[in-house]
Chain A
């Protein structure tokens, strides 16, 4: 509850995808004095630096692409569908990744890991509000968003924050899948970053550790990605490994706590250290299939570890 408090008090139910409320309010007028930048590159540099200063762990910029924007905004609390309608014409999207605590996620699946998730949501609301305020003070309209409005994972991939993994979520170089994503749509035109690749797709082809650790078997064990999802909760057409989101969410409901096994067990989920950076680089070679076996042998990615949960409080 403590970790979720900012999200609950100032961005209520944002995790369910309700747009433009609380800290995510879109209806704030920008400064009448518009700052003129020398170029979109300059604008991008300044906004990205501000975002990192204001709390983003990672930041990237991509052009507005309506393929990733929801056709309707659905409010699950009122069971209403609202047509997607920005109050301005968005040109760029500032995509932000918020790191979640590594030690807390090692306890997963647990309430401690759930608290790390909640802390992520609270930081999402706070950081996007600050970044949107910064852009508005520059004289440009901005719409801060959490889970709502658009698909965060493809936006993050386009913004160069990482690649899509077998568990259908973003895998970053720095933190693996252990991030929460949020974004700010703006009418300020900025130079877009390019997507990156560092061997995740090839690694995930042989790894399958997340699929093996998934308690609901929602993550596919197929070697190759596909363009067909499981059900209405998937957006078909993109070549990727599709998670059965309904099975996944059912497990959360059954366990009364968020599951994070796929994040905890992922070999890319490591703390910052030279030896993990080295193995991440080796993962981008033909040794990838050996590395995933060694990751387990070396004791990484354990879930349901009671000792880790007890020790967390003493650390």
Chain B
């Protein structure tokens, strides 16, 4: 169990580092909705791993599988929604930049 928490801690740190460096490379800052989506995706994703791992440690194999399906499914859904929000906000921003360019 200690190894699980160590691994999750490392994964959480790695995710935060990845997201910050990704955000830094973006021309425009992600919107608040995208940030919320990113945080929720990471948290639910970590919860999925923690639930399934703990279930396996207690030999609750069906619980582990259902955890992957239910919580993993929610993670994927959140990821898709966050990506869509990010694409939409980027296309809105590039649309506004084009209008500015054309008006000049």
A275 within 8 Å of B by Cβ? yes
**Interface of chain A residues 267 through 315 with chain B (CB within 8 A):** 271, 273-275, 297-300
B: contact size bracket:
10 to 19
Question: Which residues of the partner chain A approach B51 to less than 8 Å between Cβ atoms?
Answer: 275
CB pair A299–B60 under 8 Å, yes or no, is yes
Query: B61 contacts A299, CB within 8 Å?
Result: yes
Once bound together, how far apart are the Cα atoms of A274 and B5, in whole Å?
Answer: 11
Cα A50 to Cα B54 in complex, Å, equals 33
A residues 257-274 near B (Cβ < 8 Å) are 271, 273-274
User: Min CB distance, B54 to chain A, in Å?
Assistant: 5
Closest to B54 in A: A275
B32-73 interface code vs A (CB 8 A; 1 in, 0 out): 000000000000000000110011011011110011000000
Main secondary structure of the interface of B (DSSP, over half): helix
A128–B55 Cα distance when bound, in Å, is: 35
Complex Cα spacing A274 to B62, Å? 18
Output the nearest chain B residue to A311 by Cβ-Cβ distance: B59
Most buried by B among A273, A274, A275, A297: A275
Query: What is the CA–CA distance of A297 and B55 in the complex, to the nearest angstrom?
Result: 14
A299 to B62, CA, bound (A): 5
Which residue of A has the minimal Cβ distance to B52? A275
Which chain B positions have C-beta within 8 A of A274?
A: 54
CB A199 to nearest CB in B, in angstroms, measures 21
- Total interface residues on A, using CB and 8 Å? 8
Query: Is B55 within 8 A of A275, CB to CB?
Result: yes
Contact B54 A300, beta carbon cutoff 8 Å: no
- Judge whether B63 and A299 touch: CB under 8 Å: yes
- Given the complex, which residues of B lie within 8 Å of A299, measured CB to CB? 60-63, 66
> Which A residues are in CB contact (< 8 Å) with B66?
297-299
Alpha-carbon gap, A115 to B73, bound state (A): 42
Q: Which of A165-196 contact B (CB under 8 A)?
A: none
Interface string of A189-222 (1 = CB under 8 A from B): 0000000000000000000000000000000000
Cα distance, A299 to B66, chains bound together (Å): 9
Chain B residues near A300 (CB-CB < 8 A):
60, 63
> Chain A residues with Cβ under 8 A from B54's Cβ?
273-275
Q: Is the CB of B50 within 8 A of A275?
A: yes
**How far, in Å, is A71 (CB) from chain B's closest CB?**
45
- Residues of A close to B61: CB separation below 8 A: 299
Q: Which of A271, A297, A299, A300 has the largest number of chain B CB atoms within 10 A?
A: A299
Task: Quote the shortest CB–CB distance from B93 to chain A (angstroms).
Answer: 39
Whole-angstrom distance from the CB of A312 to the nearest CB of chain B?
11
Cα–Cα distance between A297 and B71 once the two chains are bound (Å): 14
Contact of A271 among B50, B58, B67 (CB under 8 A): B58
Residues of A near B63 (CB, < 8 A) are 298-300
Shortest CB-to-CB span from B3 to chain A, Å, is: 15
- Shortest Cβ distance from A308 into B: residue: B59
- A127, chain B: closest CB distance, angstroms: 27
Nearest chain A CB to B66 CB, angstrom units: 5
The residue in chain A whose Cβ has the minimal distance to the Cβ of B62 is A299
- Of all chain B residues, which has the CB nearest A106? B59
A residues within 8 Å of B by Cβ? Answer: 271, 273-275, 297-300
Provide 19 A-B residue pairs closer than 8 Å at the C-beta atoms, listed in order of the A residue: A271-B58, A273-B54, A273-B57, A273-B58, A274-B54, A275-B50, A275-B51, A275-B55, A297-B66, A298-B62, A298-B63, A298-B66, A298-B67, A299-B61, A299-B62, A299-B63, A299-B66, A300-B60, A300-B63
